[in-house]
Amino acid sequence: MNNIKGFPDSFMWGGATAANQYEGAWNLDGKKASTADMMTGGTHTVPRRITVTTEEGVHYPSHEAVDGYHHYKEDIRLFAEMGFKSFRMSIAWSRIFPNGDDATPNEAGLQFYDNVFNELKKYNIEPIVTISHYEAPFALTDKFNAWASREMIDCYVRYCEAIFNRYKDVVKYWITFNEINSLIVPAGAYLAGALLVDKRGGVFNNTAVDSTQLRFQALHHQFVASAKAVKLAHEINPDFKLGCMINYSHGYGSTCRPEDMLQALRMDQINNMMSSDVQVRGEYPDFAKRYFEEKNILIQMADDDEQILKQGCVDFYSFSYYKSHVVGTRPEGDETQGNVFGGFKNPYLKATDWGWQIDPVGLRYILNHVYDRYRIPMMVVENGLGAVDVVEEDGTVNDTYRIEFLRAHIEQMKEAVRDGVNLIGYTAWGCIDIVSASTGEMAKRYGFIYVDKDNEGKGTLKRSKKNSFYWYKKVIESNGEDL
C-alpha cells in the first residue's frame, strides 16, 4: 500500500558503524586479531596492505580506531540526543571466539556487548547487528585461507549460536554478512578479509591462489553459512528478523545502445542480484548458472547445500548505497572510483573528493527496482558522504556539504516510500567519525559527531557535534518532513 504521506511512524532512523572501524581495543580482554587488525593505514593514493604478522612501527588503524570500546556510553548518549531509533553495529567475531575455533566463547567479549545493548535499551534504541562486518578471526584466515574453506561454515555457525542465545532477548534485527556480494571482485574479497589476497588479487601465502573460481567458492560458503545462521536464528527466537546486506553500486548503461543496456543488466544481475536471490529466494538464479559456465566456474556443493539455502531465506533486504557508475563502451581512463565496484564516469553527476559519484536519484531507482523483485521490507543500512571536515576556531564544523548530500538522498528515499516501497529504516553510515574501510584514513569522515584523531593515529579522541548533528536531530524529530 503506498504511503503517500511519507515515512511511516515506525520508521527506524539511526546510524551505523562497524566494530573494526569503531571499537579499537583490538587485543584487550581476551580478543585476538581479526583480519581487519592486520590491515595497515593507507591514504587516497597509498593503498592499505594486509600483513601476515603485525609489523613493528607500522600504523594499524583498527587497533585503537576511535576507541568506541571505552567511549560507547558517551557515544550512545549523543545518538540518543539526535533521537536515534536504531543503531546498526557489528560484533567483532574475534572478541567472542578469539581464535575462531575455541572450545568456549570469551565471556569478557560477550559481557562487553551485554553492556552496549543495555546502554542502547536505556534510550530505546533498537540494535541492528551485523554478525560479520568485513572481518573474521585472523587465526582462522591463516589456517584455512578463510572462506576458501568449508570449515569456516561451522566456525561461523557456532559463533552465531553463541550470540543468538546470549542476546536473544535484546536484539531482534540481525544481518549475517556485510556486503556479501563484495567477494565477487578482488578489491572486495580483500576488503572483506574473506581471502588472503590483496587488492589486485595478489597472494599472501603460497597456499592461496586468488581466482574468480576461488572467490565464488568462498561466496558460496558464506551463502551456506548465512542460510544455516538464519535457520538457527528462527529456531532460537521466532521473532528474530534476519537480513541480507548488499553493496549496491548501480550501473547505468553508458548509452541507449542495446548492447550497453544489456551489459548494464548483466552486471546488475551478477554483482547485485545473484547474492540477494540466493539469500532472499534461497536459490541461485538461472543467469548465474550460465555465467558460471561461461567463466568456467565450478561451485563445489555438498549434497544438502541446495536444501540449506532454501531453508535459510532472510526476512528483510538491506543494502549500502553511496554511488553509481556507468557500464558499456567508454574510452579508457574514464573510470570512476569506489571501494568495491567500479565502472565509468557519468557526465551528469558530480563526485566526492574521493571520486565517488553522487547520485541521490539512483537510490530511489534501486529501492523501486529491488522492492519490485522481492516485495520484502527494505532498509538502507549505509549511506553518507566521506569528506574532509575543518574544525573552526570556536570548535564548530560547518558541514553543509554533508547535510546537502544526506538531504538529497533522504528526499529520494521519501519518494520511494511514496512509490510504494516498504522501507522500514535508514542508518546513516559512520554516524560518528570512524576509520575509513578502503583507505584506513581518519580524514575521510562521515560523522555527525567529530572525533579528534588524525591519519597518523594522533588526537585526544574528544567527541564534538558538527552542524549536521543538529540537522539530523531535526530530521528525525519531524520524521523526515523537515529536511
Q: Which residues are catalytic?
A: 179, 382
CA–CA dist 266, 272 (Å, integer): 10
In the complex, minimum distance from the CB of residue 47 to ligand BG6, in angstroms, rounded to a whole number: 12
Which residues contact ligand BG6 by CB under 6 A? 18, 21, 134, 178-179, 247, 320, 339, 382, 386, 429, 436-439, 444
Main-chain phi, psi angles of 316, to 5 degrees: -140, 160
Judge whether 164 and 230 are in contact, CB under 8 Å.
no
In the complex, minimum distance from the CB of residue 75 to ligand BG6, in angstroms, rounded to a whole number: 17
Specify the amino acid at residue 383: N
Grid coordinates belonging to 3 = 504511503
Main-chain phi, psi angles of 378, to 5 degrees: -125, 150
Q: Which residue is nearest to ligand BG6 (CB)?
A: 438
In the complex, minimum distance from the CB of residue 387 to ligand BG6, in angstroms, rounded to a whole number: 10
Between 23 and 179, CB nearer to ligand BG6: 179
In the complex, minimum distance from the CB of residue 437 to ligand BG6, in angstroms, rounded to a whole number: 4
CA–CA dist 42, 440 (Å, integer): 5
CA–CA dist 137, 33 (Å, integer): 6
C-alpha separations of 49 from 32, 52, 193, 422, 440 in Å: 19, 10, 11, 40, 10
Between 144 and 405, CB nearer to ligand BG6: 405
CA–CA dist 35, 137 (Å, integer): 6
Judge whether 151 and 108 are in contact, CB under 8 Å.
no
- Give the DSSP H/E element, type plus range, for residue 464: strand 463-465
Between 105 and 137, CB nearer to ligand BG6: 137
In the complex, minimum distance from the CB of residue 339 to ligand BG6, in angstroms, rounded to a whole number: 4
Main-chain phi, psi angles of 320, to 5 degrees: -105, 145
In the complex, minimum distance from the CB of residue 350 to ligand BG6, in angstroms, rounded to a whole number: 17
CA–CA dist 25, 68 (Å, integer): 8
Between 268 and 382, CB nearer to ligand BG6: 382
Query: How would DSSP label each residue in 267-313?
Result: HIIIIIIHHHIIIIISS--HHHHHHHHHTT------TTHHHHHHHT-
